[in-house]
Amino acid sequence: MELDPLVTYYKEHGSLCVAARTDRDFIWLSPSLTVDPPFTGKISWQTSVTSASKAAWRAAHAQQVAELMRLVRSPLALAGLDTDLHGKQWRLVHKSLPTETGKDFTYSEEEFIVRDYSEGLPGLVWRNFYGPPFIRMFGERLDAVPSECRKPLGEDLVLVQPYELPTEAGTETGMARERELISLLGPECFYDHERRTLPTRRPVLDSLGQPVH
């Protein structure tokens, strides 16, 4: 791949999306140009969910994410169905504005549940990659997670995976497994979607918590 045109585009527009010819794989580089650290942007990779049905792909995926996290010094990465990620990270808020007629104009818009990982975690998804700030935050509670749902990726990263396949997200079994692991890791570390309350326990970020996630 010729990289110079991509670098030129990125410098000019401040973001970049690369799509494969198959039109099923997309990579986005989305830096934040207005928000102060720790949130400085994100890297997103989207592909067909059928890829995850292969054990070899899942194994390679875990290693690739771990390598990328170390490359950009990210303390957090999430992987799962786009619908599940969106539902855990955003909420629909109903608002109203007064008008000259005296009748309020009502509308709805989406808002972040948590702006970034410094505000805590939005929930559990298919694959949750935790770096040092989160490993310290969970502490010994990580050891309480069943071994089939917890995989160390070196000394600095831990993968917590409630279920084997991303398609299990949103199912009764999948949601029950998420609740079980959240209870083990500490409900105070996660956004409460039923009560709509923010996490009360948040990671203490160090130099590893500053770059993109």
Residue range 92-148, pLDDT digits in tens: 777 777 777 777 778 777 777 887 888 889 999 999 999 999 999 999 999 999 999
> The whole model's pTM is what?
0.85
Spell out the domain ranges in the chain.
11-47, 51-202
| The pLDDT value given to residue 211 | 37
Return the half-sphere exposure (C-beta side, CA atoms, 13 A cut-off) of residue 21: 1
**Residues sharing a CB contact under 8 Å with residue 43, sequence separation 6 or more, in sequence order:** 27, 28, 29, 30, 68, 72, 212
| The pLDDT value given to residue 101 | 78
Cα distances from 19 to residues 6, 24, 42, 87, in angstroms, run 12, 8, 17, 24
Q: Phi and psi (nearest 5°) for 204?
A: -90, 110
The answer to whether 126 and 106 have CB atoms below 8 angstroms apart is: no
Is residue 77 classed exposed, middle or buried when 0-12, 13-18 and 19+ CB atoms within 10 A define those classes?
A: buried
Give me 59's structure tokens. Answer: 């194994």
- Among 17-26, 30-39, 51-60, 193-202, the minimum mean pLDDT is found in 30-39
**Residues sharing a CB contact under 8 Å with residue 115, sequence separation 6 or more, in sequence order:** 35, 39
* Residues 55-76 pLDDT 10s: 999 999 999 999 999 998 999 9
Residue position matching structure tokens 């692991």? 181
Q: What is the CA radius of gyration of the chain?
A: 19
